């Protein structure tokens, strides 16, 4: 497993730093990214070591009930194995907290922590989603923002490989909460433990798209093909348990077509009834949640950031094709992204007839690859004219945005939409679907179109290539991850204080 910009301190006092060294999951506990959050590329994708998953014998409800208050006490200074106070340095890697023995596979570790930890809340973040998609981006950038915000002791449950959707995923999270003596858990997706775990939960909900369009849920066959028959069986067991806890969300279909669809409707209702706070990126998603899940849910709107690429390092020579003024699509090839509409509109542009290429970036568009995205492109009449780059590093992505003549996003629905927001922050012209989220976030700074009107979309692409961004784009500032991080710290404090009452 790779670790990037990570530091750890052994009981012998040696501090190591690795930029590309390979370490085992059992050799390190991490606070994810340990370099200062202001450093370049602080929330770029990186591999991180997993936490041990061994179960503790501590009785969690009893242990928490022994506290007279949910507010944390000031921790004792960290000490080395010799009993001497350890040096307090910035935001360094954690060793193991509190009552846990400080050994992992025979290696003793020392916690080093920030100097501002006099009265902090202990937060466990579920960072197990580290995929090259929007939720993965949110995970990495939010952890970096929280580290910069301070006022919390932040522990991150890194990716472990535990199957999703079953009880094992929930058990692993609660085991980590016991291990780190957390005051609050922050989950970065809608799947939360059941029943109520007895600790405040803050849950990030990116969208409710599968309630609005149940066809986006996995069929049983598709779920088994992606995750395996054993995981499908675990999903069905989870559904049976959730049925006993809650009715489905009001917008869920009475006869779901698959176990995944039923799970989604039940889990959304469960989190609405259980979470202390629910964080959503837009007023659009907040309104959809209230209408389709629960009107009185404890929602807070806090925009995701779009400034994460601004400090990305320049890409190495050869990482970006020597192209300028092209049409750019960034993202995956999921059904609601409407890749077919992008290809159809590009095919009708006059720019294409002048030789302007279409460049596609994302894991589904690997050069010479196969799969949903690559196959869609190959089967389209203009597929041979497209340039497939696959996934790229942040520096290369920022360079592509700055060189693009038009960035196109024709999604049927979005909760936020990183690519058009990243493009806007980079000064690129944006052509986007006229959907509620994009009207809220982009407004007059982008050219909004009806994706079903191929000719109008093609004209908007040609206009962007010829004229650049609309005038309104000049006054739009990138949205700040730092602001989002500070909002989350406030929500953690609210959740802990509310549980204490």
User: pLDDT band at residue 369, thresholds of 50, 70 and 90?
Assistant: confident
Q: State residue 223's pLDDT score.
A: 97
Highest mean pLDDT out of 61-75, 101-115, 391-405: 391-405
Exposure string for 409-446, b = 16+ CB within 10 A, e = fewer: bbbbbbbbbbbbbbbbbbebbbbbbbbebbebbbeebb
Q: Which helix (H) or strand (E) holds 234?
A: helix 229-243
Give residue-wise pLDDT tens across range 427-485.
999 999 999 999 999 999 999 999 999 999 999 999 999 999 999 998 889 999 999 99
Least confident of 36-50, 173-187, 430-444: 36-50
With a pLDDT cut of 70, the percent of the chain lying above it is 76
∠ CA 34-484-496, rounded to 5° = 85
Least confident of 38-47, 88-97, 296-305, 348-357: 88-97
Nearest-angstrom CA–CA distance, 145 and 114: 15
Q: Which helix (H) or strand (E) holds 287?
A: helix 283-292
With a pLDDT cut of 90, the percent of the chain lying above it is 68
CATH 3.40.50.2000 fits 327-475, yes or no: yes
- In order of 90, 320, 327, 364, 423, the CA distances from 408 in angstroms are 41, 19, 7, 16, 10
Which residue spans of the chain are classified as CATH 3.40.50.2000?
118-305+484-500, 327-475
Maximum CA extent, the chain:
73
State the architecture of 118-305+484-500 in CATH terms: 3-Layer(aba) Sandwich (3.40)
Least confident of 186-200, 347-361, 482-496: 186-200
Mean pLDDT within 256-277: 97
Q: Which two tokens stand for residue 163?
A: 């199957």
């Amino acid at each position: 497993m790779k670790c990037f910009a990570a530091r750890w301190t052994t009981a012998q006092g040696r501090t190591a730093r690795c930029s590309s060294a390979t370490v085992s999951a059992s050799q390190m506990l991490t606070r994810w990214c340990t370099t200062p959050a202001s450093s370049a590329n602080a929330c770029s994708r990186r591999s991180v070591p997993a936490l041990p998953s061994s179960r503790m014998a501590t009785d969690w409800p009893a242990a928490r009930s022994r506290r007279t208050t949910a507010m944390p006490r000031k921790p004792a200074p960290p000490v080395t194995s010799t009993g001497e106070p350890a040096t307090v340095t910035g935001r360094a890697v954690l060793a193991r907290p509190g009552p846990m023995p400080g050994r992992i596979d025979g290696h003793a570790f020392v916690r080093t922590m920030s100097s501002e930890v006099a009265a902090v809340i202990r937060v466990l973040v579920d960072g197990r989603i580290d995929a090259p998609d929007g939720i993965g981006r949110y995970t990495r950038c939010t952890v970096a923002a929280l580290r910069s915000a301070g006022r919390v002791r932040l522990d991150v449950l890194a990716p472990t490989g535990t199957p999703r959707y079953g009880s094992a995923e929930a058990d692993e999270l609660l085991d980590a909460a016991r291990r780190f003596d957390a005051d609050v858990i922050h989950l970065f997706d809608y799947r939360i433990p059941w029943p109520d775990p007895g600790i405040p939960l803050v849950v990030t909900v990116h969208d409710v798209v599968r309630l609005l369009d149940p066809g986006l849920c996995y069929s049983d066959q598709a779920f088994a093909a992606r995750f395996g028959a054993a995981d499908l069986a675990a999903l069905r067991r989870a559904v049976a348990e959730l049925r006993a806890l809650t009715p489905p969300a009001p917008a869920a279909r009475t006869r779901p077509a698959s176990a995944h669809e039923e799970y989604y409707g039940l889990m959304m209702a469960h989190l609405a009834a259980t979470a202390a706070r629910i964080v959503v990126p837009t007023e659009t998603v907040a309104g959809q949640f209230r209408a389709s899940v629960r009107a009185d849910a404890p929602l807070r709107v806090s925009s995701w950031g779009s400034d994460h690429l601004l400090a990305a390092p320049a890409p190495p020579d050869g990482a970006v094709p020597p192209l300028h003024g092209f049409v750019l699509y960034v993202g995956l090839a999921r059904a609601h992204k409407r890749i077919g509409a992008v290809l159809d509109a590009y095919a009708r542009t006059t720019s294409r007839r002048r030789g302007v290429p279409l460049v596609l970036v994302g894991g589904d568009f690997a050069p010479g690859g196969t799969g949903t995205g690559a196959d869609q492109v190959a089967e389209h009449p203009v597929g041979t004219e497209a340039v497939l780059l696959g996934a790229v590093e942040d520096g290369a992505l920022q360079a592509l945005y700055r060189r693009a003549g038009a960035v196109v996003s024709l999604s049927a629905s979005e909760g936020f939409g990183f690519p058009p927001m990243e493009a806007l922050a980079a000064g690129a012209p944006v052509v986007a679907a006229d959907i509620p989220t994009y009207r809220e976030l982009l407004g007059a700074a982008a050219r909004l179109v009806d994706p079903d009107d191929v000719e109008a979309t093609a004209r908007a692409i040609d206009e962007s290539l010829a004229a650049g961004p609309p005038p309104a784009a000049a006054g739009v500032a990138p949205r700040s991850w730092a602001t989002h991080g500070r909002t989350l710290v406030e929500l953690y404090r609210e959740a802990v204080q509310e549980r204490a009452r």
